[in-house]
Structure 1
């Protein structure tokens, strides 16, 4: 099916209504990125911008070494870094396509960032956290992966940012992913995962998840949160009723919050490799700007669809701000 059909209807209409969201791609010389951007331009889904010194007959390209708004970008970078770097260091970083693309967001020349098909995730995450701050209501940012197979859609997190989150971190991760899930045409229900279901095992690791659940039960999304539970209880309602008979969570859970980065990263790759799920992201959440990493193994279709997701997030964030 067309991935765009999985988006919330109001966002779908705005994207298809030719709202030109500018998506910047730092991997501007990657053939997969170029192919994805050519399709996006032809279908008028979003407006791609490639960071490269090479010209393209149809696509917008920007060369970091020859940019008309260089001084404006440098001043913004100085403001962001707050004297943590010398001018020479900032100038050098600005020639890096990742930093340059992120700074385009900061000066309003792009709406969202999709990159990483030719860079390690650590490079994308480090630069993103140095250039873009967290939103005021969060102390840390996190990440999530969108898993899609036919009409099935799930969101996994955290998969690339927080190695061993605390209970408080898990609360923020859940809230951030829950908010991100609003771009999709799904009823959001989240499970905080563990090797224990409803106290079936005792350990400090289980207590960490249990505390996060207790804290989340005091928030506005309390009715759509359950845990702690094992993956089988979260995924299958019949198993949930057996293992967690006091759970009030009915229906299908589609947001899975993992207890640490080992579990989250391994979990999504198992779903991708053994389950045949399309894995899009990781999307960084909890930041002031919409940013998505890419796997270096991403196909051009993955890149194209990630662009759709991030364009949708731009539209969603704008609608939320304008309420």
Structure 2
């Protein structure tokens, strides 16, 4: 893991990347901000009442020094953000509604990303995924050509790294959704110096079973090949045929993956979420994320069970995404 952290730091140190943390009243987040500030890897920005943030820092046993803070309840930028929010929502919010909405730190922080005051956002330590993702979809929105965001997890072992997606967002993706997830997951892989070899997972390999679910995965594979012929991809394919060379020789001898897949796209959210947690617990791989893919600017969601170290890693990842934009 230290190798990964060093690689991420090398990509962001000296770039003056600013990451906002809406949860300045959480001890884990304040400790993360203090760590980032002390090592000068990225510039943290905390949201919340200044006195509450100071008390939280004392509780966490850290020194925040001159870390920049903003209070959505009383901030010089508030009127500017209100005007920008009304414009961005294009008739879907009045000024009065905007003033109420932007008192929510996630909306306030996302607007800071939108206007370019900061480069990315990390939230979710005390908020649900919906609380973090909803403002991002309304304000940041997805990149051109991408209809839906997806959530990827980086799975880290002693000598290998893998991308698992979608593990967080889309419950029942169709072929187009799966294709988008595959393409954005390949881009995420590059952040972690992973050569993307994409397996579109199914219970079937190359027609070994007949089912609309398997056909949807095969159709998604064709969509990716048409859109990105440069990517190495195969599907529909079973996990063992994608990951074990000896099995690949038997089940999929013509597969370009040859049992060496590094990016695994699951057919639905149940499979993805269960799959990454099984590997995390049984194989003892470290899971980092989820990383939200396909947005115009980086916004990432923590688990409410996260540690300060989890928040620190995700902040570095968010900063690397910002550099890559």
- Please give the TM-score of this superposition, normalised by the length of structure 1: 0.91
Post-superposition offset of 1:191: 0.6
Post-superposition offset of 1:76: 1.0
Post-superposition offset of 1:300: 1.1
2:178 pairs with 1:181: no
When structure 1 is superposed on structure 2, of 119-128 and 103-112 the one drifting more is: 119-128
Post-superposition offset of 1:313: 1.0
Secondary structure at the residue paired with 1:175? helix
Q: Is the 8 A contact 1:4 1:308 kept in 2?
A: no
Post-superposition offset of 1:273: 2.7
Q: Is the 8 A contact 2:232 2:256 kept in 1?
A: no
Name which of 217, 222, 226 aligns with 1:214.
222
2:37 pairs with 1:41: yes
Which blocks of at least 5 consecutive residues in structure 2 are unaligned?
A: 55-63
Q: Is the 8 A contact 2:247 2:259 kept in 1?
A: no
Secondary structure at the residue paired with 1:84? coil
Residue 192 of structure 1 corresponds to: 200
Secondary structure at the residue paired with 2:248? helix
Residue 247 of structure 1 corresponds to: 255
Post-superposition offset of 1:222: 4.8
Post-superposition offset of 1:250: 3.6
Q: d(CA) in 1 for partners of 2:308 and 2:161?
A: 20
Q: Is the 8 A contact 1:283 1:292 kept in 2?
A: yes
Q: d(CA) in 2 for partners of 1:3 and 1:38?
A: 22
Q: Is the 8 A contact 1:112 1:289 kept in 2?
A: yes
Q: Is the 8 A contact 1:146 1:155 kept in 2?
A: yes
Q: Would you say how many aligned residue pairs link Structure 1 and Structure 2? A: 313
Residue 90 of structure 1 corresponds to: 98
Q: Is the 8 A contact 1:3 1:305 kept in 2?
A: no
Secondary structure at the residue paired with 2:226? coil
Q: d(CA) in 1 for partners of 2:100 and 2:263?
A: 40
* Displaced runs of 4 or more, over 4 A: none
Name which of 46, 52, 55 aligns with 2:48.
52
Post-superposition offset of 1:31: 1.1
Q: Is the 8 A contact 1:22 1:112 kept in 2?
A: yes
Q: d(CA) in 1 for partners of 2:49 and 2:78?
A: 15
2:228 pairs with 1:231: no
Which blocks of at least 5 consecutive residues in structure 1 are unaligned?
A: 318-323
2:158 pairs with 1:150: yes
Q: Is the 8 A contact 1:28 1:34 kept in 2?
A: yes
Q: Which string of whole-angstrom CA distances, capped at 9 and with x for unpartnered residues, describes residues 74-121 of structure 1?
A: 111001111112322221110111111111101111101111011111
Residue 58 of structure 2 corresponds to: none
Post-superposition offset of 1:140: 2.1
Name which of 15, 35, 54 aligns with 2:12.
15
Post-superposition offset of 1:205: 0.3
Q: d(CA) in 1 for partners of 2:317 and 2:3?
A: 9
Secondary structure at the residue paired with 1:28? coil
Superposition map of 1:119-158 within 5 A: 119-158=127-166
Q: d(CA) in 2 for partners of 1:222 and 1:196?
A: 24
CA shift in 2, pair 1:42/1:149, >3 Å: farther
Q: d(CA) in 2 for partners of 1:223 and 1:88?
A: 48
CA shift in 2, pair 1:119/1:209, >3 Å: same
